[in-house]
């Protein structure tokens, strides 16, 4: 069962990642032997003096792996961290936080995002006290080590279309004209496209089974839809005809690739639509309270409301009204309940929550 609730969310300013500060806190003279350069991946890394002769690097197509040399030489693992590169600068730490493996962005630029991952299993011999201590000492310095990363050269993702550049987010990569820029909207899977200060269009993630809009509601736009059948995802591309014609749209559409990305509220709505089509129920309202047994929630009680879009004769400020139906419903938390929290004034799905009995 899928339940949508109305919640007011409050946020705080996100903390900067290592890559955003632009400050290298390793205020020391760097030994040339400690400067690692990877021209293929387009970054350099200045290791601290304390790590001299203590690490080994393995290089792969899109990442490097850094090991504790003492353990690596014994063949018992020793992986400390990996640095990975992926296409796109619109990838966010919030997206990364949805990854099953702890992941942190450390650098963005030249059309790429660089992030590091820590190993998920034990990578040192637990029965060897000296090697264990050495590994743990190096692990404790990883954040400090990563402050030494910087871009190397000006290598960018190569576009197939002349006069175009590659852009990317956690959800897609695509090519757009060089003079255009793309900016993600905060909290929504929408990416605005602009030429200078002029809006050109946007790319938007949509619920998979939504009806396509075949009408030009703006009077001067062209719209295309793209599908990832395996992931059951849908994107729309909207361009204003004053800035783009069918040829430009075709190049963007042909270059477009779905790139995965974390499960979000649009995916939740897509799944909800499938359940509803099979006879399940969607509820709109506010959380009244929870039933608790042995200190754990076993049911959620909902004040049921109705979300009513404006009709032809209505003129509400946001194009809808909400009617309190004056009754509650109780839903047992057994296998779990997915909750899409809707925030005013337009009650968009900003966050997703999962409630379960633990």
Convert the pLDDT of each residue in 299-319 to its tens digit. 889 999 998 888 777 887 777
What is the pLDDT of the chain when averaged over all its residues? 84
Q: Please give the structure tokens belonging to residue 169.
A: 């987010």
- In this prediction, residue 168 carries a pLDDT of 98
Instruction: With H, G, I as helix, E, B as strand and everything else as coil, classify residue 273.
Output: helix
Can you give the C-alpha Rg of the chain in angstroms? Answer: 25
- In this prediction, residue 170 carries a pLDDT of 96
Q: What percent of the chain has pLDDT over 70?
A: 82
Q: Is the pLDDT of residue 6 over 90?
A: no
Residues of the chain with CATH 3.40.1000: 30-151
Convert the pLDDT of each residue in 48-91 to its tens digit. 899 999 999 999 999 999 999 999 999 999 999 999 999 999 99
Query: How many Å separate Cα 88 from the centre of its chain?
Result: 11
What's the CA angle centered on 276, arms 234 and 315, to 5 degrees?
75
CB neighbours (10 Å) of residue 180?
A: 21
pTM of the predicted model, to two decimals?
0.75
pLDDT band at 347 (very low <50, low <70, confident <90, very high): low
Mean pLDDT, rounded, for 227-241? 94
Domain 30-151 - what CATH class?
alpha beta
Highest-scoring range by mean pLDDT, 212-226, 253-267, 315-329: 253-267
pLDDT band at 27 (very low <50, low <70, confident <90, very high): very low
- In this prediction, residue 118 carries a pLDDT of 95
Give, as one character, the DSSP assignment of residue 170.
S
Dist CA 24 CA 35 (whole Å): 14
Q: Is the pLDDT of residue 131 over 90?
A: yes
Half-sphere exposure of 254 (CA within 13 A, CB side): 10
CB neighbours (10 Å) of residue 198?
A: 11
- In this prediction, residue 211 carries a pLDDT of 75
């Amino acid at each position: 069962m899928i339940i949508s609730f109305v919640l007011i969310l409050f946020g705080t300013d996100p903390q900067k990642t290592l890559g955003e500060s632009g400050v290298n806190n390793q205020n020391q003279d760097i030994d040339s032997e400690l400067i690692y350069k990877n021209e293929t991946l387009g970054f350099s890394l200045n290791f601290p003096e304390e790590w001299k002769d203590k690490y080994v690097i393995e290089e792969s197509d899109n990442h490097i792996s850094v090991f504790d040399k003492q353990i690596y030489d014994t063949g018992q693992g020793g992986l400390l961290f990996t640095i990975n590169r992926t296409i796109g600068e619109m990838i966010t730490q919030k997206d990364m936080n949805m990854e099953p493996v702890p992941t942190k962005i450390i650098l963005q630029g030249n059309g790429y995002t660089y992030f590091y991952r820590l190993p998920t299993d034990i990578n040192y011999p637990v029965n060897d006290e000296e090697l264990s201590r050495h590994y743990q000492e190096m692990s404790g310095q990883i954040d400090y080590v990563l402050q030494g990363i910087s871009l190397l050269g000006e290598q960018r993702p190569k576009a197939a279309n002349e006069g175009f550049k590659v852009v990317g987010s956690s959800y897609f990569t695509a090519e757009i004209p060089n003079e255009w820029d793309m900016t993600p909207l905060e909290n929504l899977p929408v990416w605005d496209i602009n030429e200078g200060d002029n809006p050109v269009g946007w790319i938007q993630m949509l619920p998979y089974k939504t009806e396509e809009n075949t009408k030009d509601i703006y009077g001067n736009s062209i719209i295309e839809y793209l599908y990832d059948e395996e992931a059951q995802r849908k994107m729309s591309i909207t361009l204003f005809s004053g800035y783009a014609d069918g040829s430009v749209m075709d190049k963007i559409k042909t270059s477009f690739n779905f790139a995965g990305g974390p499960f979000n509220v649009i995916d939740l709505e897509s799944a909800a639509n499938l359940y509803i089509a099979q006879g399940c129920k969607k509820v709109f309202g506010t959380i009244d309270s929870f039933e608790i047994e042995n200190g754990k929630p076993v049911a959620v009680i909902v004040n049921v409301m109705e979300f009513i879009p404006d009709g032809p004769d209505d003129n509400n400020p946001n194009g809808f009204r909400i009617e309190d139906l004056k009754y509650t419903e109780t839903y047992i938390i057994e296998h779990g309940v997915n909750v899409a929290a809707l925030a005013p004034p337009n009650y968009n799905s900003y966050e997703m929550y999962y409630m379960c009995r633990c």
